[in-house]
Structure 1
Amino acid sequence: MAKGGGAREGGALKTAVIVAGGIALAWVTVETAFKPFLDRLRGAVSRNTDPAGDPDQEEAPAAAAEAKEEEKAPAPAEPSAPPAPAAVEEKVEEKAAELEEKVEEAAAAAAKAE
């Protein structure tokens, strides 16, 4: 007496695709919003976890001077803006399409196995 069992499976697939797309969109949003902070954090982590580097030894004077020159470089004329919503939506749609294809392939493989 399972009424509408096929509709539930389709609804579950749609829900899974929507959730996966939402997670992908959230990830892109967080990466874009916090890009400067994440870049600095990742740089600090990579410097601290470098097995070839000596944590007790400071940077060489030439490297320190280079770093100061890079900091004094003029800022770009136009600050980088987050991607347009249409571009983000296209990426999400592409990911959703890829996930749908994978689900269909898995369903076909399961059907063959039975």
Structure 2
Amino acid sequence: MAKGGGAREGGALKTAVIVAGGLALAWVTVETAFRPFLDRLRGAVSRKTDPASDPDQEEAPAAAAPEAEEEKAPAPEERTAPPAPAVVEEKVEEKVAELEEKVEEAAADKAE
């Protein structure tokens, strides 16, 4: 009977290791899949449990809003419409002419 008990102990150990590995893998998967939500949740919890803050004092978001607006960088200018196709065609033609000149110069240098 001693032989059967030894085999069961090894099997129990294997099972425990497999279960622990599966739980660790599941935990890593959940952390990865829900990272944005968990980060926001953890941030909110840390703000609520900050020992330096006084929970009896309420922050006045309306009073802080004008100051925040002054510190903001100026808004980027509105995007302009893309250039007209005629303008683009002219630029393409200019580039093509430049490249053809370079090819001709290279061919002339190679022939010499």
TM-score norm. by structure 2 comes to: 0.50
Relative to the length of structure 1, the TM-score reads 0.49
